[in-house]
């Protein structure tokens, strides 16, 4: 526990040095929400056929969708960015000398990013409540906590898998780019995936963020209980149970390869 | 510490079937630039894996300091020490840190400065403090002592001499003459192997 706490404390101390970038990131996201808000106004805030299952207008949908999507990419999913930063600093080699630190490093990175993203999400939700008049009256907090719990492991797994590329190929991280682009388009963040033609709609199923957004929309706006979102939760559970351990195993293999190449501190 | 049949190649062979026994004491390793001294130290410390061979030392029992500091520029020396020592299951006790800093001629005031504004010599001292607090059975020092001023160098050598009575210390340096008074064992690295140098 001491080591996990040390990792997280170190990351927060480093983040303090980049306060402006952090605040700018939040400001940019809120600005994006404004764009979606006015697009929704343009459409008279109608609930279209594709939004009817959720019972909400477009802005309400995209507001939560983008928060969850940001959470997946900038939160636990940004572990690859953390690995890259440690490489540049020259500290990755020192951190991963001891095998026991591998698990702790990845877990701490996941937890740290989760905490940061949760903080950002709370800021956005507050802005949604105060400025955009998002309706919070039906939120099922218990369901949301369970969704976030399984999403954490699923998104972290993808983040760790993405960082395998950083270890092996130094700079090029095609997986992160592909994941981010594909998830953005197919994940249901910006529009319900049902809008997509039949074939593409099915592709959405392979992304954890799709199930997370689908479950969250129901729990947030319709007060869906654990049983109501059981299909989505079971998929997220499967992603967590299989992907999370697999990602650690693959990272361990990649670390071995990098130590043989002597490339841990190269970028 | 025993090395048996260590081999390492990076496109071309760097270390070839290297076997050596480093007893407790002070060892100075020298050789031409690019002959593999740093690679050997990184293998012993666990930062790089050899292609072949065995090392009797466990990376848990090896402390090392290399020219490129691993410290985070945005954190102070003290914050860096706290973090990296925790990774080694060690705690940073104020009194112990101050005692070691005094012994090697480090200015305590430098410890609360961010490493990005600290001089290279003081960064080396920070790395030495870390190494002495870790207090492992094997110390590896890669060419960094040349950054120290004369007084700090003498003090550090005094401390290393004391430690060498019960630890294995391997120091890479091109300046053999500086260490002749310390009962050092000299090793020359060439053609991928190490040879005792008389």
Higher pLDDT, residue B97 or A70? B97
> Which pair of tokens denotes residue A152?
């954490």
Question: Is it the case that residue A27 has pLDDT exceeding 90?
Answer: no
In this prediction, residue A118 carries a pLDDT of 87
Reported as a pLDDT band with limits 50, 70 and 90, residue B139 is: very high
Q: pLDDT value at position A47?
A: 78
User: What percent of chain A shows pLDDT beyond 70?
Assistant: 96
Residue-range domain boundaries for chain B: 2-197
Give residue-wise pLDDT tens across range B35-55. Answer: 999 999 999 999 999 999 999
Of B6 and A107, which is predicted with more confidence?
B6
- Judged by CB atoms closer than 8 Å, whether chains meet at A14 and B72 is answered as yes
B5 reaches A (C-beta below 8 A): no
Structure-model confidence comparison of residues A218 and A200, the more confident one = A218
The lowest-confidence range among A170-184, A187-201, B51-65, B108-122 is A170-184
Q: In the predicted model, is pLDDT for residue B181 greater than 80?
A: no
Q: Average of pLDDT values for A146-169?
A: 90
At what angle are helices A230-261 and A100-130 packed, to 10 degrees? 140
d(CA B42, nearest CA chain A) in Å? 9
The order of strands in the sheet holding B52-55 is B12-21, B2-10, B52-55
User: Is residue A74 predicted with pLDDT exceeding 80?
Assistant: no
Instruction: Check whether B180 has a pLDDT greater than 80.
Output: no
Strand partners, A110: none
Residue A266 lies inside a defined structural domain of this protein? no
Alpha-carbon gap: B183 to the closest alpha carbon of chain A (Å): 31
Provide ipTM, 2 decimals.
0.89
Tell me whether A170 touches chain B (CB under 8 Å): no
How far is residue B1's CA from residue A227's CA, in Å, rounded to a whole number?
A: 61
Average pLDDT over all residues of chain A: 88
Can you give the pLDDT at residue B182?
64
pLDDT value at residue A172: 55
Rounded-to-integer distance, Cα B77 and Cα B111, Å: 5
pLDDT at B112 over 90: yes
Check pLDDT > 90 for residue A55.
no
First-last CA distance in chain A? 30
Tokens coding A136: 């919070």
List, in order, residues 6 or more apart from B156 with CB less than 8 Å away.
Answer: B104, B105, B128, B145, B148
For the cut 80, the answer to whether the pLDDT of residue B75 exceeds it is yes
Q: Which CATH architecture has domain B2-197?
A: 3-Layer(aba) Sandwich (3.40)
Does any domain span residue A101? Answer: yes
For residue A125, is it within any domain?
Answer: yes
- Smallest Cβ distance to A13: which of B45, B71, B79? B79
Residue B67 Cα distances to A225, B40, B64, B178, angstroms: 58, 15, 10, 19
Question: How many residues are listed for chain A in this entry?
Answer: 267
How far is residue A236 from each of residues A184, A206, A245, B132, measured CA to CA in Å? 18, 10, 14, 48
Q: Give the pLDDT confidence score for residue A17 in this predicted structure.
A: 72
| Residue B62: pLDDT over 70 | yes
As a whole-number percent, the residues of chain B with pLDDT over 90 amount to 89
Higher pLDDT, A116 or B27: B27
Tell me how far apart the alpha carbons of residues B79 and B126 are, in angstroms, rounded to a whole number: 11
Inform me whether the pLDDT recorded for A45 exceeds 70: yes
Question: What's the rounded Cα separation, in Å, for the pair A216 and A213?
Answer: 5
**Quick one: pLDDT at residue A64?**
94
Domain count of the fold of chain A: 1
Per-residue HEC secondary structure of chain B comes to CEEEEEEEEECEEEEEEEEEECCCEEEEEEECCCCCHHHHHHHHHCCCCCCEEEECCCHHHEEEECCCCCCCCCCEHHHHHHHHHHHCCCCCCHHHHHHHHHHCCCCHHHHHCEHHHCCHHHHHHHHHHHHHHHCCCEEEEECCHHHCCHHHHHHHHHHHHHHCCCCEEEEECCCHHHHHHHCCEEEEEECCEEEEEC
* Per-residue model confidence as pLDDT tens digits over B18-40: 999 999 999 999 999 999 999 99
Contact A43, A210 (CB under 8 A): no
User: Which pLDDT band holds residue A267 (cuts at 50, 70, 90)?
Assistant: confident
pLDDT band at A28 (very low <50, low <70, confident <90, very high): confident
Cα distance between residue B97 and residue A41, in whole Å: 63
Task: Give the other-Cβ count within 10 Å of A136's Cβ.
Answer: 11
What confidence score (pLDDT) does residue B2 get?
Answer: 95
Exposed/middle/buried for residue B11 (C-beta within 10 Å: 0-12, 13-18, 19+): exposed
- Is pLDDT at A238 greater than 80 in this prediction? yes
**Local confidence band at A41 (pLDDT 50, 70, 90 cut-offs):** confident
- Supply the mean pLDDT for chain B: 93
pLDDT value at A219 more than 90: yes
Question: DSSP characters for A68-90?
Answer: HHHHHHHTGGGHHHHHHHHHHHT
* Residue A99 in domain: yes
pLDDT above 80 (res A73): no
Domain range for A81 is 2-261
pLDDT: which is higher, A217 or B183:
A217
Say yes or no for a CB contact (<8 Å) between B48 and A262: yes
**Closest-CA residue of chain A to B74:** A14
Cβ pair B45:A97 closer than 8 A: yes
Q: A207's torsion region: left (phi>0), alpha (psi -120 to 50) or beta?
A: beta
Q: What is the pLDDT of residue A182?
A: 86
Residues within 8 A of B (CB atoms), A 62-101 only:
89-91, 93-95, 97-98, 101
Q: What is the pLDDT of residue A75?
A: 60
Domain membership of residue A267 (yes or no) is: no
Q: Do A91 and B71 touch (CB under 8 A)?
A: yes
Average pLDDT over residues B191-196: 92
Cα angle, residue B173 at apex, residues B172 and B176 outer, rounded to 5°: 125
CB of B72 within 8 Å of a chain A CB? The answer is yes
């Amino acid at each position: 526990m001491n080591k996990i706490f040390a990792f997280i404390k170190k990351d927060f101390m480093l983040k303090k040095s980049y306060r402006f970038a952090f605040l700018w990131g939040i400001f940019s996201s809120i600005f994006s929400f404004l764009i979606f808000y006015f697009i929704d106004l343009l459409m008279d805030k109608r609930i279209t056929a594709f939004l009817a299952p959720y019972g909400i207008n477009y802005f309400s949908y995209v507001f939560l969708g983008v928060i969850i999507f940001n959470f997946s990419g900038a939160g636990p999913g940004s572990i690859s960015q953390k690995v890259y930063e440690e490489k540049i600093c020259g500290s990755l080699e020192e951190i991963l000398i001891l095998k026991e630190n591998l698990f702790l490093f990845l877990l701490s990175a996941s937890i740290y990013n989760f905490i940061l993203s949760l903080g950002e999400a709370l800021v956005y939700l507050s802005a949604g409540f105060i400025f955009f008049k998002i309706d919070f009256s039906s939120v099922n907090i218990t369901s949301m906590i369970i969704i976030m719990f399984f999403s954490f492991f699923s998104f972290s797994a993808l983040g760790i898998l993405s960082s395998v590329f950083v270890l092996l190929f130094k700079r090029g991280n095609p997986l992160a780019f592909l994941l981010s682009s594909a998830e953005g388009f197919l994940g249901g963040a910006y529009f319900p995936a049902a809008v997509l033609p039949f074939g593409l709609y099915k592709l959405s199923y392979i992304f954890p963020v799709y199930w997370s957004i689908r479950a969250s929309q129901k729990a947030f706006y319709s007060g869906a209980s654990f049983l109501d979102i059981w299909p989505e939760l079971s998929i997220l559970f499967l992603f967590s149970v299989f992907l999370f351990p697999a990602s650690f195993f693959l990272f361990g293999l990649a670390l071995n390869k990098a130590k043989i190449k002597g490339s841990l501190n190269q970028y | 510490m025993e090395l048996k049949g260590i081999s390492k190649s990076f496109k071309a062979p760097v270390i070839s079937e290297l076997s050596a026994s480093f007893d407790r004491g002070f060892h100075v390793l020298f050789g031409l630039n690019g002959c593999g001294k740093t690679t050997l130290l990184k293998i012993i410390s666990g930062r790089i894996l050899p292609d072949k061979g065995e090392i009797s030392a466990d990376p848990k029992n090896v402390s090392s300091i290399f020219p490129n500091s691993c410290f985070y520029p945005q954190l102070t020396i003290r914050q860096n020490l706290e973090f990296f020592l925790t990774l080694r299951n060690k705690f940073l006790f104020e009194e112990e840190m101050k005692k070691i800093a005094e012994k090697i001629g480090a200015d305590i005031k430098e410890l609360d400065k961010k490493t990005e504004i600290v001089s290279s010599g003081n960064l080396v001292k920070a790395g030495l403090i870390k190494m002495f607090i870790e207090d492992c059975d094997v110390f590896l020092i890669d060419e960094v002592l040349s950054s120290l001023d004369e007084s700090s160098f003498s003090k550090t050598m005094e401390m290393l001499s004391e430690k060498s009575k019960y630890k294995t210390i391997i120091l890479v340096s091109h300046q053999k003459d500086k260490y002749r008074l310390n009962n050092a064992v000299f090793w020359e690295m060439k053609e991928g192997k190490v040879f005792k140098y008389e």
